[in-house]
Structure 1
Amino acid sequence: MTTAQELAGQRHRDHMRNLLVQAAEGFGLTLVGEPVFGWRDRTIGAPGRGPHGDLWVRVTTEFPAWASGRAWTGNSDADALSGVPRPEVVEVTEWDDPPRRVRAEAATLLPGDVLSTTRFLHGRPEAGELWWSDLRDALDRLAEQDTDRVAVDQETITRRLLVFFGDAIDPTVTRWTTAHGDLHWNNLLGPDLGVLDWELWGSGPAGLDAATLYCHSLTHPETAERVRRAFADLLDTPDGIRAQLFVITRLLLRIERGDDPTIAPLLHRKARELLDDQSR
């Protein structure tokens, strides 16, 4: 029997599909692929074809109080970055769809496919040695770029680590760099490197992106070890350990709010390992 919540979710997804068609038509594009929903169906996207080639059409909806700020404009703000293979936003439009606000973006298409259909990895990704080298180079270039955007601030890190771990870890970050902010496997393309979804990018503790990718790899130990080898010089620093613990807290909070709970034991185990290493 279909529940009221399931019916509401289906109505929301149907409405998002209609908004996507409306956005594509506004950009002069015809949708040519199946729509892909983002985290908790707050976004939807699909390829569109027009007289000047193919683009990716993406629609986000939020209540007006949230329809501004870094996450709202992150993809287009990222056009200021260089040296990272990412889509370029070529057109943006917004409109009211009471009680929500809609933002639609048309962006360049990158070659390849996402390396996982979910945020967490459950199989070996199609990523060769060149891909790993390109990822490291891209994140190093990103880290060096200046921005006034913030992915996560000291106040948030201090509060989160204190709530979860008490005084077991000093929360004070000593080095800040520019980060993607949500680097999981559904945001990465292969076999040629591409990095998607720049909503949350900004400054964060050094090693934040490595920590995020590592924690999303715990479901596939072989790849988790490959991430560790690629970024050991960041992950094994005091800021890298803080970043890993912060990412763990963020993922655990998402589980509390409805994400897959089967990942929780892996996250708790990794947190204990990190804290045990700190106490030695």
Structure 2
Amino acid sequence: MRRAFARSAETLGITIAGPEFWGWHGRTLSSRAEHPERGSCWLRVLTAPQGKGTGKIWEGNRQAAALFDGRIHKPLLHDSMESSCDGYAYQAELHEYVTEPICSPSPVLHTDPDLPTAWWDSLRTDLDHVSTVPTDRVAVRQEWVDRTVPRFLDIPGPPITDWATAHGDLHTANLTAATPYLLDWEGFGLAPVGYDAAMLLAYSLLTPAFAHRVRDAFPVLKTEPGRAAQIIVITELLQSASRGDHPELVPALRLLATELS
């Protein structure tokens, strides 16, 4: 991965200028870089086994750039390239460098960042715009809901009656603390109305004050579509926890599921 990262930097004409950051399960490697014309940038390299470098996740940031760059607060995508070596495919993306810190180092929020009203207004405005943009990408499928909700919650999967385009992975590790910028668009697509708000809420349950602000900022969570979105998100995170991701969130997720049921 490091060799592919270095090759990508050379091909894109940039110099690595910061520490490395590894993504989920080592699937991505990123760092600040310097471009002779653009200045500071962010290089992100995604890897997959040879022949698996396709599909929603692989294409997400590029497709999001075509739809949303310059229209909402997200880092611009300057350039991208693909390569392969030793049985693996690699995709390098050169993004605008955002100097603002993220709200949380982990998707699970443990400390309330105490964000101002303008932050929430900006986030809601951007998500409202995203929700209206047509796409053929799908972030959540009814078939998955019908199959998986009964397995983890022992209730029927709720029918998705209202759909909208969503960021798809909205949590405080993908939001900066000032503007906010929305980061990491590889999972965007059609989802239940209220899905992004439900995701932000679920990852914030260990910080009650912030969770309260999420509920206030997104009234959709109090509607029936919002209830369905929360049940679906809870199921997703319980499934993820069953594979070892953020087990500390499970009791709060199950308590919220009981309240919604």
Asked if the contact 2:21/2:30 (under 8 Å) is kept, the reply is: yes
Q: 1:192: Cα distance to partner?
A: 1.5
Asked if the contact 1:48/1:55 (under 8 Å) is kept, the reply is: yes
Asked if the contact 1:31/1:47 (under 8 Å) is kept, the reply is: yes
Match of 1:135 among 103, 123, 128: 123
> Alignment partner of 1:91: what SS?
strand
Q: 1:47: Cα distance to partner?
A: 1.0
Q: Which residue does 1:197 correspond to in 2?
A: 184
2:231 paired with 1:245:
yes
Q: 1:169: Cα distance to partner?
A: 4.6
Match of 2:91 among 93, 103, 123: 103
2:227 paired with 1:270:
no
Separation in structure 2 between the aligned mates of residue 67 and residue 239 of structure 1, nearest angstrom: 34
2:140 paired with 1:152:
yes
Which sections of structure 1, spanning at least 5 residues, go unmatched?
Answer: 1-15, 276-280
Q: 1:149: Cα distance to partner?
A: 0.9
> Alignment partner of 1:252: what SS?
helix
Match of 2:12 among 9, 15, 27: 27
Separation in structure 2 between the aligned mates of residue 158 and residue 64 of structure 1, nearest angstrom: 32
Letter in 1 for 2:199: T
> Alignment partner of 1:49: what SS?
strand
> Alignment partner of 2:164: what SS?
strand
Q: TM-score, normalised by structure 2?
A: 0.94
2:174 paired with 1:187:
yes
Q: TM-score, normalised by structure 1?
A: 0.88
Letter in 2 for 1:42: R
Q: Which residue does 1:13 correspond to in 2?
A: none
Q: Which residue does 2:208 correspond to in 1?
A: 221
Cα-to-partner distance string for 1:219-248 (whole Å, 9 max, x where unaligned) = 11110111011012x112222111111111
Q: Which residue does 1:48 correspond to in 2?
A: 33
Match of 1:61 among 37, 47, 66: 47
Letter in 2 for 1:104: A
Structure 1 moving runs of 4+ over 3 Å: none
Q: Which residue does 2:76 correspond to in 1?
A: 88
Q: 1:32: Cα distance to partner?
A: 1.0
Q: Which residue does 2:107 correspond to in 1?
A: 119
Asked if the contact 2:152/2:238 (under 8 Å) is kept, the reply is: no
Letter in 2 for 1:133: D
Separation in structure 2 between the aligned mates of residue 111 and residue 173 of structure 1, nearest angstrom: 38
Letter in 2 for 1:198: W
Q: 1:264: Cα distance to partner?
A: 1.0
Q: Which residue does 1:162 correspond to in 2?
A: 150
Q: 1:214: Cα distance to partner?
A: 0.3
2:66 paired with 1:70:
no
Q: 1:250: Cα distance to partner?
A: 1.1
Q: 1:50: Cα distance to partner?
A: 1.5
Separation in structure 2 between the aligned mates of residue 126 and residue 27 of structure 1, nearest angstrom: 39
Letter in 2 for 1:19: A
Kindly tell me the number of residue pairs found equivalent between the two proteins. Answer: 258
Asked if the contact 1:188/1:196 (under 8 Å) is kept, the reply is: yes
Q: Which residue does 1:6 correspond to in 2?
A: none
Which sections of structure 2, spanning at least 5 residues, go unmatched?
Answer: none
Q: 1:170: Cα distance to partner?
A: 5.4
Letter in 1 for 2:233: V
Asked if the contact 1:252/1:267 (under 8 Å) is kept, the reply is: yes
Q: CA separation of 1:127/1:66 partners in 2, compared to 1, >3 Å: closer, same or farther?
A: farther
Cα-to-partner distance string for 1:49-105 (whole Å, 9 max, x where unaligned) = 021112110011111343101110100100132332112222111111222211111
Q: CA separation of 1:258/1:97 partners in 2, compared to 1, >3 Å: closer, same or farther?
A: farther
Asked if the contact 1:76/1:88 (under 8 Å) is kept, the reply is: no
CA RMSD of aligned residues (A): 1.5
Q: 1:267: Cα distance to partner?
A: 0.9
Separation in structure 2 between the aligned mates of residue 40 and residue 170 of structure 1, nearest angstrom: 29
Separation in structure 1 between the aligned mates of residue 239 and residue 142 of structure 2, nearest angstrom: 18
Q: CA separation of 1:170/1:253 partners in 2, compared to 1, >3 Å: closer, same or farther?
A: closer
Q: CA separation of 1:170/1:22 partners in 2, compared to 1, >3 Å: closer, same or farther?
A: closer
